[in-house]
């Protein structure tokens, strides 16, 4: 029989996949299971809408069988099946969406990404198999056909014998080589683990014959092997369950099972949105910073599912940088399984979900701050730097979102305060929000610059983190009150006539100040008399925008 050739694109994809790196190969099973599930979906729908079809719930399933002797792995489904034409059209060309992604990724010289992150469909079977056959009987057809291919050199189609409607995909698993091991794809326990990892929530049973041992009847120390058909997927995802049915422990378990983190989550958020874009999400605010959090290695992102099938382990587009600490997953039936990273970035639905999630996280943090202050402060200890970077980055575009989530240590109550708390405690005549910068609260407390402000009875925010003052400068104003460093030249509290007095004094002492300036040289810009000092003889102040601490940070930055 003459072999038919694949399209050129398919050939390139095949080559790339066959050379794919080890850990990504396992996703072939996800792809085949999801195709099987789609096919069952279609027949299920038909049965629901066609009176002439009668089906039982038990009729819908996917079965996976491994045979070590023949080195075959078989995926059988009771789905809608494919006609001869469909076998040819559907399996002879690579999925349209996948092909675009392939081209783009290939141009970027990084073909591996696409395989790890996205569905590349049926063809991924060639990552682990050197012969693939698909035997199928379509609903309403009397004939069955067998499609067979050894990979890049094309495929054949011939009539076959198959009693029941549905499809059976048989993979002839590759032999091991020095570099590559394929035996694992014939191990039921390994296969089960792959299914659990990627397809646990497929809504039809995925059945496997599992062999284990049990004590022999009537004997205490003799065991016998037995084989039992098992449904290996749980079928109902936790995110589809009703919140009221779930306990904190359920959410904690899911967090650990998914390896979102090794700590316990501080707070979870379960969303079920049924608006213009439908999605469910379970999001977590972790308790502690991942070890690599403040490094370049850290990758933000949420797991992304399309209708119960995992399509991406870390979808970065779902989270703004300032909420990069959030872990969890999103499932949407409005996303296509084969969507590429390129397209995801421009996907309207995904953008909508991301926007929605961002505001949910914000209100979750706000309510934590309001109702569980202790927990919030714990969170803040771990992730405050990220929030402050968020305020500072993008020229302050996100300051509105973030400013109410910030806390600073305050001189008044000797504990953390929000800007709102500060402003609401301000005496009426106080014009500015005062802050002081330094290495630690203790050191700031001893600064001569704080004296005058503190003496007035005004509260001072102590900024001890490098990034603090940058964030404050970007916020610039909170509830119409500007920020003012206690070390700035004009504090806004020295009375007018005092200023004149100072000026007169300064003129009297001009010679002394000139001599001091000459002595100090470039170390200072000038020497002036000041009214702000009480118990200290001198203090340093700054002119213009930068404060002493900011100058230090800027000087320390690599240029
Ligand atoms: P996609 O699933 O994104 O369409 P695939 O490469 O995974 O791309 O599959 C291509 C097509 O082959 C499917 O759209 C479907 O029409 C058909 N197909 C694959 N597997 C099956 C199956 N088990 N039963 C019925 N049709 C299938
Ligand atoms: Mg598919």
pLDDT digits (tens, 9 = 90+) for 322-378: 999 999 999 998 887 666 666 777 788 999 999 999 999 999 999 999 999 999 999
Q: Does 158 belong to an annotated binding site?
A: no
DSSP, collapsed to helix, strand or coil, labels residue 514 as: helix
In whole angstroms, what separates CA 433 from the centre of its chain? 36
Which is nearest to 369 in space by CA: 416, 426, 424?
A: 416
Residue 237 has pLDDT above 60, yes or no: yes
Q: Does 117 belong to an annotated binding site?
A: yes
* Residue 95 CA, ligand 2 centroid: distance in Å: 8
Label the pairing between strands 265-274 and 278-286: antiparallel
Mean pLDDT, the chain, integer: 84
pLDDT attached to residue 209: 96
Specify the range with the lowest mean pLDDT, choosing from 99-113, 199-213, 345-359: 99-113
* Residue 210 CA, ligand 1 centroid: distance in Å: 27
Report, as an integer, the average pLDDT of 476-492. Answer: 89
Report, as an integer, the average pLDDT of 382-389. Answer: 94
Residue 553 has pLDDT above 70, yes or no: no
* Residue 136 CA, ligand 1 centroid: distance in Å: 12
pLDDT-above-70 percentage for the chain:
81
Residue 115 has pLDDT above 50, yes or no: no
Q: Phi/psi of residue 558, each to 5°? A: -70, 140
pLDDT attached to residue 112: 44
DSSP, collapsed to helix, strand or coil, labels residue 456 as: coil
- Which ligand is nearest the CA of 37, by number? 1
Label the pairing between strands 408-410 and 144-149: unpaired
Q: What is the band of 488 on the pLDDT scale with cuts at 50, 70, 90?
A: confident
Residue that has been written with the tokens 């005092």 in this structure: 498
Q: What is the band of 176 on the pLDDT scale with cuts at 50, 70, 90?
A: very high
Specify the range with the lowest mean pLDDT, choosing from 253-267, 385-399, 422-436, 451-465: 253-267
Ligand 1 proximity of 306 Cβ (cutoff 6 Å): no
pLDDT attached to residue 533: 61
Which is nearest to 187 in space by CA: 213, 214, 210?
A: 210
Q: Which two tokens stand for residue 40?
A: 């069952």
Q: In the β-sheet with 302-306, what is the strand arrangement from edge to edge?
A: 265-274, 278-286, 327-332, 302-306, 309-315
* Residue 391 CA, ligand 1 centroid: distance in Å: 46
Question: How far is residue 198 from each of residues 119, 195, 306, 524, measured CA to CA in Å?
Answer: 12, 5, 12, 64
Give the DSSP letter string of 174-196: PPP-SS---GGGG-HHHHHHHHH
Could you give the angle at which helices 510-520 and 496-508 cross, rounded to 10 degrees?
Answer: 80
Ligand 1 proximity of 121 Cβ (cutoff 6 Å): yes
pLDDT attached to residue 99: 39
pLDDT attached to residue 398: 92
- Which ligand is nearest the CA of 34, by number? 2
Q: Phi/psi of residue 262, each to 5°? A: -95, -10
Q: Does 121 belong to an annotated binding site?
A: yes
Which is nearest to 263 in space by CA: 243, 235, 298, 291?
A: 291
Question: How far is residue 263 from each of residues 285, 297, 327, measured CA to CA in Å?
Answer: 11, 19, 12
If you take atom 4 of ligand 1, which residue's CA is the nearest one?
95
Ligand 1: nearest atom to the Cα of 34? 2
**This model's pTM is above 0.90:** no
Ligand 1: nearest atom to the Cα of 35? 20
Question: How far is residue 2 from each of residues 132, 154, 155, 180, measured CA to CA in Å?
Answer: 17, 10, 9, 32
If you take atom 21 of ligand 1, which residue's CA is the nearest one?
35
pLDDT attached to residue 504: 64
Report how far residue 527's alpha carbon sits from residue 534's, in angstroms, rounded to the nearest whole number. 17
């Amino acid at each position: 029989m003459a072999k038919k050739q694949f399209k050129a694109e398919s050939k390139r994809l095949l080559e790339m996949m066959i050379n794919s790196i080890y850990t990504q190969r396992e996703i072939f099973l996800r792809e085949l299971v999801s195709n099987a599930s789609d096919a069952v979906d279609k027949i299920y729908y038909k049965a629901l809408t066609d009176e002439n079809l009668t089906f039982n719930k038990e009729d819908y399933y996917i079965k996976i069988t491994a045979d070590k002797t023949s080195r075959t792995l078989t995926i059988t489904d009771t789905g809608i099946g494919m006609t001869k034409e469909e076998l040819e059209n559907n399996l002879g060309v690579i999925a349209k969406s996948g092909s675009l992604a392939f081209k783009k990724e290939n141009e970027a010289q990084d073909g591996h990404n696409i395989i790890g992150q996205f569905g590349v469909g049926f063809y991924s079977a060639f990552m682990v198999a050197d012969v693939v056959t698909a035997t199928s009987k379509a609903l309403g057809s009397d004939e069955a056909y067998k499609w067979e291919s050894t990979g890049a050199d094309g495929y054949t189609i011939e009539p076959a014998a198959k009693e029941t409607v549905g499809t059976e995909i048989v993979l002839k698993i590759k032999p091991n080589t020095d570099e590559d091991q394929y035996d694992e794809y014939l191990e039921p326990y390994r296969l089960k683990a792959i299914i659990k990892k990627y397809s646990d929530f497929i809504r039809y049973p995925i059945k496997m014959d599992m062999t284990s041992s049990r004590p022999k009847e009537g004997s205490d120390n003799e065991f016998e092997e037995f084989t039992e058909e098992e449904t290996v997927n749980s079928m109902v995802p936790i995110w589809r369950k009703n919140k009221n049915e779930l306990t904190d422990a359920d959410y904690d378990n899911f967090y650990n099972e998914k390896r979102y983190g090794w700590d316990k989550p501080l707070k979870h958020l379960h969303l079920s949105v049924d608006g213009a874009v439908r999605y469910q999400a379970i999001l977590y605010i972790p308790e502690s910073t991942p070890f690599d959090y403040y490094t370049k290695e850290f990758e933000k992102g949420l797991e992304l599912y399309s209708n119960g099938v995992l399509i991406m382990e870390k979808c970065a587009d779902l989270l703004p940088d300032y909420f990069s600490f959030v872990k969890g997953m999103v499932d949407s039936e409005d996303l296509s399984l084969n969507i590429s990273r390129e397209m995801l970035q421009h996907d309207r639905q995904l953008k909508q979900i991301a926007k929605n999630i961002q505001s949910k996280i914000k209100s979750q943090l706000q309510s934590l701050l309001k109702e569980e202050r202790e927990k919030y402060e714990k969170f803040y200890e771990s992730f405050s730097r990220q929030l402050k970077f968020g305020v500072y980055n993008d020229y302050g575009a996100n300051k509105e979102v973030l400013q109410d989530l910030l806390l600073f240590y305050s001189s008044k109550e000797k504990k953390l305060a929000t800007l709102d708390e500060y402003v609401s405690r301000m005496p009426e005549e106080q014009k500015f929000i005062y802050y002081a910068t330094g290495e630690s609260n203790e050191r700031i407390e001893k600064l001569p610059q704080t004296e005058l402000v503190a003496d007035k009875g005004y509260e001072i925010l102590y900024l001890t983190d490098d990034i603090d003052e940058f964030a404050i400068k970007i916020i610039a104003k909170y509830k119409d009150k500007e920020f003012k460093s206690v070390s700035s030249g004009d504090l806004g509290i020295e009375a007018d006539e005092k200023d004149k007095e100072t000026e007169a004094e300064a003129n009297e002492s001009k010679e002394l100040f000139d001599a001091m300036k000459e002595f100090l040289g470039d170390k200072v810009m000038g020497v002036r008399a000041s009214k702000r000092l009480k118990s200290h003889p001198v203090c340093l102040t700054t002119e213009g925008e930068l404060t002493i601490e900011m100058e230090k940070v800027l000087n320390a930055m690599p240029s």
